[in-house]
Amino acid sequence: MSAPQRLLPRRSERTITATLAGPRPVPRVRVLRRSSIQRRRTRTAAAFLAPASLVLGVFVLYPMLDALRASFTDARIIGPADWVGLANYAELLADDRFWNALWNTALYAVVTAPLSVAIALGLALMLNRAVPARLLFRAIIFFPFVTSLSLVSIAWAFLFDPQVGTAAAWLSQVGLPIGNGINDPQWAMPAVMLVGIWRNIGFFMVMFLAGLQSIPRELKEAAAVDGAAGFRHFRTMTWPLLANTTMFVVVIAAIFAFQAFDQMYVMTGGGPFFSTETLVMYIYDTGFEQYRTGYASAVSWALVLVVLTISIGQLWYFRKRAVQY
Amino acid sequence: MRTRILALTTAAALTAALTSCGGTEAGSDEPVTISFWNTYTASNRPTVEKIVDDFNASQSAVVVEMTIQPGDVQAQKLLPAYSAGEGPTIAAIDASQVPEFASLGVIQPVDDLYESGKLDASQLPEASLAATEYEGAQYGVPMMATPTMLYYNKSLFEQAGLSEPPSTMDELAEYAKQLTQYAPGAEATNVHGFAIADSAAPPVWAALLWSRGGGVVDGDPATFGDPATVEAMGYWNDLIQVDHISPVGLGGVEADALFAAGRAGMLINGPWASAGFTEAGVDYGVAPVPAGPAGQFTIAISSNMHLNAEATEEEAAAAYDFFAHWNSEEQQTTWATSTGFPPNLTTIDEAALAENPTSLAFSKAVGARFYLQGLQQAAAIDSGVVIPTIQRVTNGEGTPQELLPAAGAQIEELLSE
Amino acid sequence: MSAIEAPVAPRRPPPLTRSSRPRTVGRLGTVLTVATLVVVSAVVLLPFVWMVSASFRTQGDLTGNPTTLWPATITFDNYVNIWQRIPFGRQLLNTVAFAGTVTAVSVLLDAMAAYALARFQFPGRGVIFVLIIVTLMLPIQVTFVPVYNLLADLGWINSLHGLVIPRVADAFGIFFLRQAFLSVPVELEDAARIDGASEWRIFFRVMLPLTGPALLTVALFNLLANWNDLLWPLMVTTDPSMQTLPAGLALFKGEHVSDYGLLMAGALLALLPMVAVFLFVQRRFIEGIATTGLK
């Protein structure tokens, strides 16, 4: 991975400054009529954006809008669909099961997202240093993300089966009985949360590692010379410079948490009595078990609105902290 | 980059054009190809494949192309596929889904199959045929029909001094109490007399309620909110809470696991579990679910084959040939002896089934009936009201007196929509 | 990502203060770190231990003695049988073809889109960015039917292009690479512009090399997501000869009873290539940084 010498000036000629206050506008490099430069750059940008936008537009956005349209009808999975206006949305606002699912999902997100991000960051910091068997540890921690979640949830379900599970028996032997475990309404949600966190820490860790390694060495060395000690070094130097990555991880973590489905589907089926039913499970139930596509679409778009609000909030929060080199 | 996109799009357009005119035109020499979707994964798959292969090999006029998919995948694909014209000629679905599919018009009646004598309805399971009737027309051809029966652990029975399976529900309750070895906090070692699964399994609770005069909807001895059901649920719930005859909140897989591990005295389930129990080394027997004060009931389960509403006459005729093949004596004997399901044909000799005692045992059920038969709202009622209510009761979130009347009202509401 | 500037992984932890304690603290810190990592690893690996155990046991042993992880007798039957019970080899190839193609194309398309969003100012940039993120938010269960209908209308059911093309751009990759491009020093780009390079040249010769680790990471994630995807290939294809590994493995899951030994053996075999890819990517991370740091 060598830098093309002709296009880049020598290292000694470059100065790197880290700006901690907002992004700077891209400087104009030639003194010509501004508008023609701008137009040319817009065209170039459009060209770069086009292929991906086309695919996303046709195969993702369009179906999403189709679902939006369906949410205003009484569509069942097939057959005629009559326009019902906002009736589906009115229904979901009055639907206890919807609010229960929203509550469960929010609870799940509020617990798992920050925890998994924090744990992942800790692990990334640990594994960014010269720890023995660093690569092995990284691989192990990333393992949960490598398999299909629904398959590995089978393993979790067996391990923690209150009556015949291996882990349940071990815990009982060391004096930490799990009682009725995942069938206990109080423990079902913590159990699926645990699986969710377990699943994602490797994923977020890898992203943090990528971010950590993008911090220019000069800055780290400068801090070391200044005598910044361990945690202070992290808080004043690493953490702010990691802001781009952190923003990304936090936004993604929230979006993923709100879409939790696989482990609940396999391990608890949304039970006991809906205590682990997330929004996506409810959408699946209304859409594919009750065949009410219109209503399921409405619930889905309610989910999108909630997640979008949260994401925009997060993006706005981090906008002021964006790092530009 | 642009040229690559152009190339891709052109290629796509060309391929689409080519594939759309590549459909099989059955001339007089070419076999008719029909598609068959079902969900018989895992251990039943080899048997189903064998029967289909036998059919394809035995004649050259029809070729059946089968696609086996997991249950939830087929559930998601089937209706959209029908609607897009990509639906299979033959689809095997659970009997409970027939009202929905028939009312949507994606499957067509097959009365002429029976009328033509190609298949003799009198030899097929009556309950299955009744369950696949919709508005007076017959929509289904039996693929699998089985009751659930009582598995009992002979070693545990012996240890408790019991020699015979229970012959009444009261005896079952008594035996369950005797078989239970329960210590609080010892979930990993407790032995339970009767493992009751409340979800992801055949609806055992329905059979328990029916046997004592309770039920869920009209047609059952009583409906969900009735006092009889309250009493019945209270009876079984007390046995669970006080005598610990079953762990609370068992799912189907967990109940099977408990029995396979030799820690459940009894279990109500279908024949598919038997091979696993044998492999696990459990010494078990199979008996009919005993009679309660209100009668002898057990759960009937059936999946049937249905013909695509848009099938051409040729395809329909081809499908009929396959239906007749599936329900022929030779194939049904293979089916029963390989899978343990009872055969669809009532005329098959017991001696022929001797090599699979499970199949023999499951042919002898009494009082099998379908749960929530013929209701389009079946899924909504079961997973939306019945199962959560049972879970609430068994988890102590309310007594049957408190919860059932309201749940019954919810069911009425769902039915009236 | 300024890989050229990126630090060499230090052999010793950086000196914390100018005091004389660093070495002891460093060693203790390392011991604690390793201890923590070992505990974390043990918890993380627990389900996999179960999976390995289940794959080397018979079904009867697994269900008859569920509380122990140790097989009564170790059997290789599952690993042998899986090649016959499903066309494992062909499905593996199908998966490689599908996931590999999608990954290769999507990394390029995502990088291009991310570059535009990170480095160009144009009207509607914010809106497009938000729209792209929004595509991450709707659960696939809901877009299933509209996408299926769209594919059926296009006649793309049961075709390779139908399988691949809808997946060659993904919002996650665009979002991630945008972050990476934002971290590249603007000066480097501007210097190239001053030298008269065209935008394409800048993109291929400056931006992409500088974000190598990020590109590899996105490639890894896309590969993973598509490798393990069950629903999408099954949605598009019914032809058994086009089935991918997850679809094949799903055939061991029954509605009531599953072949756990075969299922777990298959799952473990299927994840080995992904682990190999991960190790490769991570080595490149470390190696890439190490070599460029020497310049």
C36 falls within a domain: yes
Enumerate residues 6+ apart whose C-beta is below 8 A from B258. A163, A164, B192, B195, B247, B250, B264, B267
The pLDDT score that the predictor gives to residue C10 is 45
Asked if residue C33 and residue C133 are part of one domain, the reply reads no
Asked if residue C199 and residue C54 are part of one domain, the reply reads no
C5 falls within a domain: no
**Chains meeting C at 3+ CB pairs closer than 8 A?**
A, B
Helix, strand, or coil here: C75? coil
Asked if residue B220 and residue B116 are part of one domain, the reply reads no
Task: For residue A44, give both structure tokens.
Answer: 């170039």
Asked if residue C153 and residue C256 are part of one domain, the reply reads yes
Q: Which residues of B lie inside 8 Å of A (Cβ-Cβ)?
A: 1, 5, 72, 75-76, 79-80, 82-83, 100, 104-106, 185-188, 190, 199-200, 247-251, 253-254, 257-258, 261, 263, 379-380, 383-384, 387-389, 391-392, 395, 397
Enumerate residues 6+ apart whose C-beta is below 8 A from A141. A123, A127, A201, A202, A205, C40, C41, C44
Tell me which chain A residues have a C-beta less than 8 angstroms from the C-beta of C292. Answer: 1-3
Asked if residue C108 and residue C31 are part of one domain, the reply reads no
Residues B330-357 have pLDDT tens digits of 999 999 999 999 999 989 988 988 889 9
C270 falls within a domain: yes
What is chain B's alpha carbon radius of gyration, rounded to the nearest angstrom? Answer: 24
Asked if residue C173 and residue C34 are part of one domain, the reply reads no
The domain boundary residue, chosen from B336, B362, B388: B362
Residues A49-65 have pLDDT tens digits of 999 999 999 999 999 99
Asked if residue B294 and residue B153 are part of one domain, the reply reads yes
**pLDDT above 90 covers what percent of chain A?**
54
Asked if residue B273 and residue B238 are part of one domain, the reply reads yes
Q: Choose the mutation target among C257, C259, C262, C264 for the interface with B, i.e. most B CBs under 10 Å.
A: C257
In which band, very low, low, confident or very high, does the pLDDT at A230 lie, cut at 50, 70 and 90?
low
* CATH code of the domain containing B222: 3.40.190.10
Task: For residue C85, give both structure tokens.
Answer: 């019970």
In which band, very low, low, confident or very high, does the pLDDT at B287 lie, cut at 50, 70 and 90?
very high
C101 falls within a domain: yes
Asked if residue B168 and residue B220 are part of one domain, the reply reads yes
Asked if residue B155 and residue B108 are part of one domain, the reply reads no
CA distance A230 to chain C (A): 6
C272 falls within a domain: yes
Q: Which domain does B285 fall in, by range?
A: 149-299+369-416
* CATH code of the domain containing C112: 1.10.3720.10
Asked if residue C46 and residue C109 are part of one domain, the reply reads no
Asked if residue C98 and residue C71 are part of one domain, the reply reads no
C11 falls within a domain: no
Which domains does chain A possess?
A: 89-319 (1.10.3720.10)
Residues C185-217 have pLDDT tens digits of 888 888 888 887 788 888 888 888 888 888 988
Residues A192-224 have pLDDT tens digits of 999 999 999 999 998 888 888 777 666 666 655
Between residues C104 and C20, which one has the greater pLDDT? Answer: C104
The pLDDT score that the predictor gives to residue C246 is 93
Mark B383-400 as b/e (b = at least 16 C-beta within 10 Å): bbbbbbbbbbbbbeeeeb
Phi and psi, residue B307, nearest 5°? -95, 135
Asked if residue B228 and residue B375 are part of one domain, the reply reads yes
Q: What is the dihedral of CA A151, C257, B200, B308, to 10 degrees?
A: 100
Out of B15, B77, B86, whose CB is closest to C159? B15
C225 falls within a domain: yes
Task: Quote ipTM for the complex.
Answer: 0.86
Out of A9, A24, A146, whose CB is closest to C191? A9
The pLDDT score that the predictor gives to residue C293 is 34
Asked if residue C161 and residue C258 are part of one domain, the reply reads yes
Asked if residue C100 and residue C186 are part of one domain, the reply reads yes
Asked if residue B88 and residue B109 are part of one domain, the reply reads yes
Whether A236 has a pLDDT exceeding 90, the answer reads no
Asked if residue C123 and residue C152 are part of one domain, the reply reads yes
Out of B5, B185, B397, whose CB is closest to A51? B5
Residue A273 and residue B392: Cβ atoms within 8 Å? yes
- Mean confidence (pLDDT) of chain B: 91
Residues C77-100 have pLDDT tens digits of 999 999 988 999 999 999 999 999
Look up tokens 């470390």; give the residue.
C286
The pLDDT score that the predictor gives to residue B190 is 93
Residue C185 and residue A53: Cβ atoms within 8 Å? no
Q: How far apart are CA A159 and CA A169, in angstroms?
A: 9
Q: Which domain does C185 fall in, by range?
A: 86-292
Whether A27 has a pLDDT exceeding 80, the answer reads no
In which band, very low, low, confident or very high, does the pLDDT at A290 lie, cut at 50, 70 and 90?
confident
The pLDDT score that the predictor gives to residue A40 is 83
Whether B306 has a pLDDT exceeding 70, the answer reads yes
Between the CA of residue A272 and those of A233, B387, B392, C43, what are the distances in Å? 47, 9, 8, 26
- The average pLDDT across C147-168 equals 91
The pLDDT score that the predictor gives to residue B217 is 96
Residues C227-264 have pLDDT tens digits of 999 989 988 888 888 899 999 999 999 888 899 999 99
Q: Nearest residue of B to residue C153 by CA position?
A: B84
Asked if residue B387 and residue B251 are part of one domain, the reply reads yes
In which band, very low, low, confident or very high, does the pLDDT at B241 lie, cut at 50, 70 and 90?
very high
C3 falls within a domain: no
Between residues A194 and A129, which one has the greater pLDDT? Answer: A194
Enumerate residues 6+ apart whose C-beta is below 8 A from C210. A3, C1, C2, C3, C4, C184, C188
The pLDDT score that the predictor gives to residue B152 is 97
The domain boundary residue, chosen from C44, C75, C106: C75
Asked if residue B163 and residue B79 are part of one domain, the reply reads no
Residues A137-157 have pLDDT tens digits of 999 999 999 988 989 999 999
Q: How many domains does chain C have?
A: 2
Asked if residue B65 and residue B141 are part of one domain, the reply reads yes
Residues of chain B numbered 244-303 and touching chain C (CB < 8 Å): 252, 256-257, 260-262, 269-270, 272-273, 275-276, 278-282
Which residue type does A256 have?
F
In which band, very low, low, confident or very high, does the pLDDT at A21 lie, cut at 50, 70 and 90?
very low
Asked if residue B180 and residue B280 are part of one domain, the reply reads yes
The pLDDT score that the predictor gives to residue A25 is 56
In which band, very low, low, confident or very high, does the pLDDT at C123 lie, cut at 50, 70 and 90?
confident
Asked if residue C242 and residue C178 are part of one domain, the reply reads yes
Helix, strand, or coil here: A73? strand
Residues A244-254 have pLDDT tens digits of 889 889 999 99
Q: Nearest residue of A to residue C203 by CA position?
A: A48
Asked if residue B277 and residue B162 are part of one domain, the reply reads yes
Residues A68-78 have pLDDT tens digits of 999 999 988 88
Q: How far apart are CA C185 and CA C6, in angstroms?
A: 12
In which band, very low, low, confident or very high, does the pLDDT at A317 lie, cut at 50, 70 and 90?
confident
The domain boundary residue, chosen from B320, B338, B362: B362
| Pairing label, strands B32-38, B90-94 | parallel
The pLDDT score that the predictor gives to residue B24 is 47
Q: Which residues pair with B266 in a beta bridge?
A: B152, B194
Q: How far apart are CA B357 and CA B350, in angstroms?
A: 10
Residue C182 and residue A244: Cβ atoms within 8 Å? yes
The pLDDT score that the predictor gives to residue A239 is 84
Within its chain, how far is the Cα of A11 from the centroid? 36
Asked if residue C114 and residue C44 are part of one domain, the reply reads no
Tell me which chain B residues have a C-beta less than 8 angstroms from the C-beta of A178. Answer: 187
